[in-house]
Amino acid sequence: MARCDLTVRGGGILGLSCAWEAARRGARVRLIETVAIGAGASGGLVGALAPHVPDEWNPKKQFQLESLLMMEGWWAEVEQVSGLTAGYGRTGRLQPLAGAAAVELARRREESAVALWQGRADWRVVAATGAAWEPAAASGYLVRDTLTARVQPRLALGALAKAIAARGGEVVIGAAADQGPVIWATGMAGLDDLSVAMGKSVGSGVKGQALSLRYPAAELPQVQLDGLHIVPHADGTVAVGSTSERYWDDGAGVDGGLDALLATARAALPVLAGAEVVDRWAAVRPRAASRSPLLGEWPGRPGHFVANGGFKIGFGVAPRVAQVMVDLVLEGRDKIPAGFRVQG
Ligand SMILES: Cc1cc2nc3c(=O)[nH]c(=O)nc-3n(C[C@H](O)[C@H](O)[C@H](O)COP(=O)(O)OP(=O)(O)OC[C@H]3O[C@@H](n4cnc5c(N)ncnc54)[C@H](O)[C@@H]3O)c2cc1C
């Protein structure tokens, strides 16, 4: 390959998305992943692309909204260029409402969603119907939104890697030299490196466990109750995630916490009672101290940039992260929200 315009380090969702965005704009890009595509937090099972609640608006919610609204076209192009499916589908979400206060709050959000989501998706309070694929709602009502989507993480990473190569980019697994400016999208290792370089903690990890069931629900909406996500995928599996653990011995180990999560999922949707468990998985999510994505120049290291801090919404924000990072690195346009910058 002729000299690269840009190197991206890290073959997770943020690194692959940045490399793809650069390649689709015609740049010569080299992506270097030391272990394997999806070796970190991205190589999992869940893939919920779920918005935050439409009220108490802030730059993170706005950024995430922009990302979710561009998803459909983004994944369609990746699928078309790669010839592979990413498992994207805007299938919506159901959230049961516990009581009268929750229903009242949800109705207020119905109104704020109209303005905040720019009429491009709905957040509606709907009456329970008793359908098999519907969680029990003590109030008799649920929220149904039409913004939530899903992608199948491992398929999505594979499609991105192939699309980068199809646009003339290089995807290297192992060691290779950096050329040009470097985007460090190296997940937990990157957060640790940045903390050492800056002499202070810029973030830490939060372990998560998830599993996959065989159950045909491909086009049905995902179900969310507090931290529980039940996400039907196009391949006839349903992902159930995720635990949230601040302390652990083995970041990739699965344990009884996952059994408890499965029991909660089966209580919420009894149709899943007999569904076979086909996969169990765990990883450590990179969480910035600010809890927002951590984007922009690496302070004190000219030519080096950071794309990190995906935490629980790395897949949800990836397309917009890629846009603002490539704008900055290749075009010198800085559209990164103030609260997302790496503070020197
Ligand atoms: C159980 C669980 C469920 C989740 N569910 C969802 C969800 O439903 N929706 C959602 O949006 N997000 C979800 N997330 C969060 C999401 O997975 C993360 O935010 C995202 O994967 C972070 O991506 P990343 O590219 O920053 O990091 P990673 O995926 O960790 O990628 C970093 C990569 O960099 C590589 N690397 C490290 N050092 C170097 C180096 N020096 N050079 C080259 N490569 C290097 C690593 O091997 C790794 O492959 C979930 C996470 C977990 C754990």
Q: What is the pLDDT along the chain (344 residues), one digit of tens a residue?
A: 568 899 999 999 999 999 999 999 999 999 999 999 999 999 999 999 999 999 999 999 999 999 999 999 999 999 999 999 999 999 999 999 999 999 999 999 999 999 999 899 999 999 999 999 999 999 999 999 999 999 999 999 999 999 999 999 999 999 999 999 999 999 999 999 999 999 999 999 999 999 999 999 999 999 999 889 999 999 999 999 999 999 999 999 999 999 999 999 999 999 999 999 999 999 999 999 999 999 999 999 999 999 999 999 999 999 999 999 999 999 999 999 989 998 86
pLDDT at residue 206, rounded to an integer:
98
Distance 42 CA to ligand 1 centre (A): 4
Residue 264 to residues 206, 258, 267, 289, Cα–Cα distance (Å): 21, 10, 5, 30
Cα four-point dihedral sign 141, 146, 148, 154: positive
Residue 41 to residues 12, 140, 241, Cα–Cα distance (Å): 7, 37, 13
Distance 12 CA to ligand 1 centre (A): 5
State if residue 46 touches ligand 1 by the CB under 6 angstroms criterion: yes
DSSP assignments along 115-140, one per residue: HHTTTSS-EEEEE----SSS---TTS
Q: How many Å apart are CA 294 and CA 288, to the nearest integer?
A: 6
State if residue 205 touches ligand 1 by the CB under 6 angstroms criterion: no
DSSP secondary structure letter of residue 304: E
State if residue 40 touches ligand 1 by the CB under 6 angstroms criterion: yes
* The model's pTM: 0.98
DSSP secondary structure letter of residue 338: G
State if residue 287 touches ligand 1 by the CB under 6 angstroms criterion: no
Question: To which H or E segment does residue 75 belong?
Answer: helix 59-82
State if residue 257 touches ligand 1 by the CB under 6 angstroms criterion: no
State if residue 191 touches ligand 1 by the CB under 6 angstroms criterion: no
CA-nearest residue for atom 45, ligand 1, is: 10
Residue 149 makes CB contacts below 8 A (sequence gap 6+) with: 49, 68, 71, 72, 88, 89, 90, 91
State if residue 41 touches ligand 1 by the CB under 6 angstroms criterion: yes
Amino acid occupying residue 14:
L
Q: Is 93:221 a contact under the CB 8 Å cutoff?
A: yes
3-state secondary structure 237-278: EEEEECCCECCCCCCCCCCHHHHHHHHHHHHHCHHHCCCCEE
State if residue 184 touches ligand 1 by the CB under 6 angstroms criterion: no
Distance 10 CA to ligand 1 centre (A): 9
State if residue 51 touches ligand 1 by the CB under 6 angstroms criterion: no
Residues in the chain: 344
Q: Is 222:212 a contact under the CB 8 Å cutoff?
A: no
Q: Is 81:210 a contact under the CB 8 Å cutoff?
A: no
What is the tally of helices (H) and strands (E) in the chain? 7, 16
Strands 48-49 and 149-150: antiparallel
3-state secondary structure 143-200: EEECCCEECCHHHHHHHHHHHHHHCCCEEEECCCCCCCCEEECCHHHHHHHHHHHHCC
State if residue 285 touches ligand 1 by the CB under 6 angstroms criterion: yes
CA-nearest residue for atom 38, ligand 1, is: 186
Ligand 1, residues 8, 13, 20, 148: which to mutate, most atoms within 8 A of Cβ?
A: 13
Distance 295 CA to ligand 1 centre (A): 15
pLDDT at residue 343, rounded to an integer:
80
Q: Is 235:88 a contact under the CB 8 Å cutoff?
A: no
Q: How many Å apart are CA 34 and CA 39, to the nearest integer?
A: 9
